[in-house]
Structure 1
Amino acid sequence: MKITLFSSKPYDQQFFEEANTSFNNEIVFQEVALNENTAAMATGAKAICVFVNDQVNANVLQHLQGIGVQLVALRCAGYNNVDLKKAAACGIKIVRVPAYSPYAVAEHTIALILTLNRKTHRAYNRVKEGNFSLQGLLGFDLHGKTVGLIGLGEIGKVTAKILVGMGCKVQAYDPYITQESGVAGVTFIDLDTLYEGSDIISLHCPLTPETHHIINAESIAKMKKGVMLINTSRGATLETKAVIKALKTGKIKYLGLDVYEEEAELFFEDLSDKVIQDDVFMRLLSFNNVLITGHQAFFTAEAMKNIATTTLQNIHDFEQGQRLQNELLPT
């Protein structure tokens, strides 16, 4: 089958070409993102492959239908960028990779927590300059601290297990998970109690109407002064301007982000020779207690291999008329 893969990077091509030796598809790698202006580049392809910041809205889907695309394969778990109802109306199937490596994202979450706490990024730069002073590098013991996890899916569960193993008191809020199906050592509580009692809050939830800006001025007001906030889920779960205000007052003492609500124009690109126009993002970068990585939590060799293999298996199942176990349907 001919597949057009949008938002392609060298690492995508590497892992997809390796996985494709078992499927023998014709894959056309396009560096550009999918949007209304680039959808025509899929002409001749029966399936397309997209990533988190590609646009799969009503207009794009209408265009894809017109050029004969029958399948959109997401090489990611999140699908908030896809109009599922319009896809169904156009007769276009949508599949995704529901799980690729929960360990990758969970371990990156822990890396953000440890780096912010022990300031290893700042210490590294100091030592390179011959500065061995410890002033300003004081951290705290994670052991015994209360960590609140919003979302206890596969990634949240792995994160919880690591934190429990480090001696943290782990509490979780997830309306879709019961105490019995959770993780040993994790207590389920309501959201307000989580806000009020957590030293560290980490988000592991999908982006839905219910979780959009779940961290906002009202929820931040309920948190402990000096809380650490971590987000490796979806950028728009945080109301960024409210978070900036809380950083300025000291309500939020540490902020670790791997996602950003306006990341589509920034992440996955080398902008080092350009002036970044996003004033809100640049304001975040001005704080010395903010650590931002460019949506790299998923980026391990194991995860990339799983993403490529699962994506191509999804496409193969479609081509063979088999049941699509990873199909997304409108609600």
Structure 2
Amino acid sequence: MDVLFFSSKPYDEQFFARANQEFGYNLKFLEVHLQQSTAILAKGYKVACVFVNDTVDAEVLQILAEQGVQLIALRCAGFNNVDLKAAEALGMKVVRVPAYSPYSVAEHTLALILTLNRKTHRAYNRVKEGNFALNGLMGFDLHGKTAGLIGLGKIGLVTAKILKGFGCRVLGYDIAKPAECERIGIEFTDLKTIYAESDIISLHCPLTPATYHIINADSISEMKKGVMLINTSRGALIDAVAVIDGLKSEQISYLGLDVYEEEADLFFEDLSEKVIQDDIFMRLLSFNNVLITGHQAFFTSNALHKIAEITLENIAAFAANASLNEVKSAQQA
């Protein structure tokens, strides 16, 4: 089986080459993003392996189909960048990695919370400059605080367990109540209650039409003044302009992001020698109570090993006409 990787990095090649020892596929790695101008590079490949910021819309899928691609293998959990209806119309299968290491993202969520709270990033820079003053570095005890989780999939549930370990009261919302809620100690509730009672709100839901900009001017106005907002899920869950207004009014006192709606032109690249043209992103960076990481929550050796393993297993299942981790257009409704 010939597999072409788009948006690949050295770590992708390292982990996939290791996992491929069991499968023996012909793997070709390209650094370029998948888009209309690069889709023709897939000529002769049955499988295109893509990542979160690749463009897999109807036009791109049409070009891929013309090159002979039969399977879109997402090496990630999210699939909002794929036009699933167009894929189905072309007879193309789309598979993903539904779960790799929920601990990686959950633990990064806590890293953002703790860093924002105790301002360790600012303290680190001060000490390097010989400044040991504590003014401006005061935090709060997580113990006894209320954390609201929007999305209670595998990552949300692991995040809840960690927060319970800190002594937090944990509220949770999802479209369906997980059976584990009582055992973990999550108070399952609605969004209005989460907004009204949470000191910390963390997003762990997929991006769908129903969750697009779920954090907006209206929902922010319902939150406790001084709330901490964390997003390690999908950038477009948040209306960045509304969040900036919330930061300026001090309705939001802390913002931690590992994802950003327009990240496709920014993340996973070294832009240190360039002028970033995204004014909204640069405005977010100007706040000293905002912490942004470049979509690295998934980035642990454990997660990358699992992603490579499951992706190649998906390809093997496709080749064997077996059951797939397939995503269909009904899931984007």
What's the TM-score once normalised by structure 2's chain length?
A: 0.98
| Inter-CA distance 223–114: structure 2 relative to 1 (3 Å threshold) | same
Query: What SS does the corresponding residue of 2:78 show, helix, strand or coil?
Result: coil
Q: CA deviation at 1:248?
A: 0.5
Task: Name the CA distance, whole Å, in 1 between partners of 2:113 and 2:217.
Answer: 22
Residue 129 of structure 1 is matched in structure 2 by 129
Residue 3 of structure 2 is matched in structure 1 by 3
- 1:24-39 correspondence to structure 2 within 5 Å: 24-39=24-39
Residue 287 of structure 1 is matched in structure 2 by 287
Task: Name the CA distance, whole Å, in 1 between partners of 2:91 and 2:233.
Answer: 30
1:196 matches 2:196: yes
Residue 318 of structure 1 is matched in structure 2 by 318
Residue 327 of structure 2 is matched in structure 1 by 328
The amino acid across from 2:231 in the alignment is N
Residue 22 of structure 1 is matched in structure 2 by 22
Residue 109 of structure 1 is matched in structure 2 by 109
Residue 240 of structure 1 is matched in structure 2 by 240
Deviations along 1:19-72, one digit per CA (max 9) or x if unpaired, are 011110111100000011100011110101000000110001111111110000
Task: Name the CA distance, whole Å, in 2 between partners of 1:89 and 1:95.
Answer: 16
Query: What SS does the corresponding residue of 2:80 show, helix, strand or coil?
Result: coil
Q: CA deviation at 1:321?
A: 1.8
Task: Name the CA distance, whole Å, in 2 between partners of 1:215 and 1:183.
Answer: 28
Task: Name the CA distance, whole Å, in 1 between partners of 2:111 and 2:100.
Answer: 19
What's the TM-score once normalised by structure 1's chain length?
A: 0.98
The runs of 5 or more residues in structure 2 that have no matched partner are none
Deviations along 1:157-199, one digit per CA (max 9) or x if unpaired, are 0000000011000000111224665652110111001100000
Task: Name the CA distance, whole Å, in 1 between partners of 2:52 and 2:59.
Answer: 18
Task: Name the CA distance, whole Å, in 1 between partners of 2:180 and 2:103.
Answer: 22
Query: What SS does the corresponding residue of 1:315 show, helix, strand or coil?
Result: helix
| Inter-CA distance 317–116: structure 2 relative to 1 (3 Å threshold) | same
| Inter-CA distance 313–180: structure 2 relative to 1 (3 Å threshold) | closer
The runs of 5 or more residues in structure 1 that have no matched partner are none
Kept after mapping to 1: 8 A contact 2:181/2:187 = no
Q: CA deviation at 1:249?
A: 0.8
- 1:1-150 correspondence to structure 2 within 5 Å: 1-150=1-150
Q: CA deviation at 1:329?
A: 1.6
Q: After alignment, is 183-192 or 276-285 more displaced?
A: 183-192
Kept after mapping to 2: 8 A contact 1:146/1:170 = yes
Task: Name the CA distance, whole Å, in 2 between partners of 1:85 and 1:243.
Answer: 32
Q: What RMSD, in angstroms, separates the aligned Cα atoms of the two structures?
A: 0.9
1:185 matches 2:199: no
| Inter-CA distance 64–183: structure 2 relative to 1 (3 Å threshold) | farther
Query: What SS does the corresponding residue of 2:109 show, helix, strand or coil?
Result: helix
Aligned residues: 330
Kept after mapping to 1: 8 A contact 2:235/2:260 = yes
Q: CA deviation at 1:206?
A: 0.2
Deviations along 1:87-120, one digit per CA (max 9) or x if unpaired, are 0110111000000100000000000000000000
Kept after mapping to 2: 8 A contact 1:112/1:230 = yes
Task: Name the CA distance, whole Å, in 2 between partners of 1:87 and 1:78.
Answer: 16
Task: Name the CA distance, whole Å, in 2 between partners of 1:177 and 1:96.
Answer: 24
Deviations along 1:270-321, one digit per CA (max 9) or x if unpaired, are 0000000000000000000000000000000000000000000100111122
Residue 215 of structure 1 is matched in structure 2 by 215
Kept after mapping to 1: 8 A contact 2:181/2:188 = no
Kept after mapping to 1: 8 A contact 2:118/2:138 = yes
| Inter-CA distance 165–231: structure 2 relative to 1 (3 Å threshold) | same
Task: Name the CA distance, whole Å, in 1 between partners of 2:184 and 2:37.
Answer: 50
Task: Name the CA distance, whole Å, in 2 between partners of 1:238 and 1:18.
Answer: 37
